[in-house]
Amino acid sequence: MIYTCTLNPSIDYIMHVDGFQAGGLTRSHKTFYYPGGKGINVSRVMERLGVSTIALGFIGNFTGQFIINSLEQEGIKHNFIETGDYTRINVKLKGEQESEINGPGPNVSEVQLTQLLDQVRSLHGEDYLILAGSVPSSMPKDFYNQIADICLQKNIPLVADTSGDALRQLLGKQVFFLKPNEHELGELFDTTISSVEEAAYYARKLVEQGAKHVIVSMGGKGAVYVDSEHKFYANVPKGEVKNSVGAGDSVVSGFIAALSQGKSVEEAFRDGVATGSATAFQDDLCQKEDVDRLKEEINISPII
Ligand SMILES: Nc1ncnc2c1ncn2[C@@H]1O[C@H](COP(=O)(O)OP(=O)(O)OP(=O)(O)O)[C@@H](O)[C@H]1O
Ligand SMILES: O=P(O)(O)OC[C@@]1(O)O[C@H](CO)[C@@H](O)[C@@H]1O
């Protein structure tokens, strides 16, 4: 079974605005509420791609209930731990530019932390764990590290989509798949990545340090896949970007869904990029028909 784990879920409150006025009143002309958080996005996209998951993580109060209701309406199984605190609401402002305000997350008790670690301990080598997003500010900073160690002991393939300190903790660990974007990868190596070759060079460093598969997403500039044998580049399809929230999570979903269906890494890379773009071209997350259509526009070429 594929498990996603979102330590810090959110309701994503998308507000479309014309000319945002800091310090004044801005009225939004279009709003959307979506269940969010990176692992939850992965569960929602994988369900649309025909692959079932179980969503784990911390949830609470009426904002958490919104997420549970939304997932149940979409037929997604879950086994969340109730914190008794509010699941955050993240505000995504869409004007001439996209701006995001993400909350710090709930208070999580020691007992609840132990419950989640026990859930991870109960998984097996034939499962996957997709751990994605930030760690609530009340939690120990090394929580990614703790989960990675359990996965190592139990041979559970760990997929991680995070940034900053949480991503740094995974360096040197056997991780099944990492998907940093070019900025997150650059931050990790204290550099700026400005070309496909540089992305491939630093992605290979992640592989040398224990990651089995790495995709570096570079927004509209394409994406890079690296493992110990291959280095590939994928272009992205052309289209109007409506919403980049969840596009990176969709790359993870498409890639893992394809591998779980027995496809090659090259095909899985194409599926991942198509899934990311299909989400970027939608208000909410992608639909499978769009992924299938966009796949035709993606060429995978070796990076020399
Ligand atoms: N301009 C674009 N045109 C086509 N596809 C795009 C564009 N921007 C993003 N995408 C799609 O979204 C994927 C993820 O984009 P990006 O590199 O911005 O990841 P990210 O920063 O992790 O995303 P997120 O906004 O979810 O945090 C890309 O690999 C691509 O498939
Ligand atoms: O604050 P985090 O956990 O880093 O990111 C949370 C978040 O921005 O990521 C998702 C998109 O990737 C959104 O659904 C959500 O609001």
Residue 242, both tokens: 């409506």
Ligand 2 centre distance from Cα of residue 260 (Å): 24
Q: What's the whole-model pTM score?
A: 0.97
Residue 167 tokens read as: 């991503």
pLDDT, position 219 = 96
Closest CA to ligand 1's atom 5: 277
186 strand-pairing partners: none
Residues pairing with 223 in the sheet: 217, 234
Q: How far is residue 113 from each of residues 136, 153, 229, 243, 300, measured CA to CA in Å?
A: 11, 19, 38, 33, 42
CATH fold for domain 2-16+31-302: UDP-N-acetylmuramoyl-L-alanine:D-glutamate ligase (3.40.1190)
Residue 7 near residue 143, CB atoms below 8 Å: yes
Number of Cβ within 10 Å of residue 224's Cβ equals: 29
Closest residue by Cα to atom 11, ligand 2, is 246
Hey, where are the domains in the chain? 2-16+31-302
Q: Please report, in tens digits, the pLDDT of each residue of the chain (304 residues total).
A: 999 999 999 999 999 999 888 899 999 999 999 999 999 999 999 999 999 999 999 999 999 999 999 999 999 999 999 999 999 999 999 998 889 999 999 999 999 999 999 999 999 999 999 999 999 999 999 999 999 999 999 999 999 998 888 999 999 999 999 999 999 999 999 999 999 999 999 999 999 999 999 999 999 999 999 999 999 999 999 999 988 899 999 999 999 999 999 999 999 999 999 999 999 999 889 999 999 999 999 999 999 8
Q: pLDDT value at position 112?
A: 98
List, for residues 275-298, the tens digit of each pLDDT value. Answer: 999 999 998 899 999 999 999 999
Give the number of other CB atoms < 10 A from CB of residue 159: 27
What ipTM was predicted for this assembly?
0.97
Active-site residue (options: 85, 161, 249, 290)? 249
Q: What is the CA radius of gyration of the chain?
A: 18
pLDDT at position 241: 93
Atom 12 of ligand 2: nearest residue by CA position: 246
pLDDT at 223: 98
Query: How far apart, in whole angstroms, are the C-alpha atoms of residue 277 and residue 151?
Result: 30
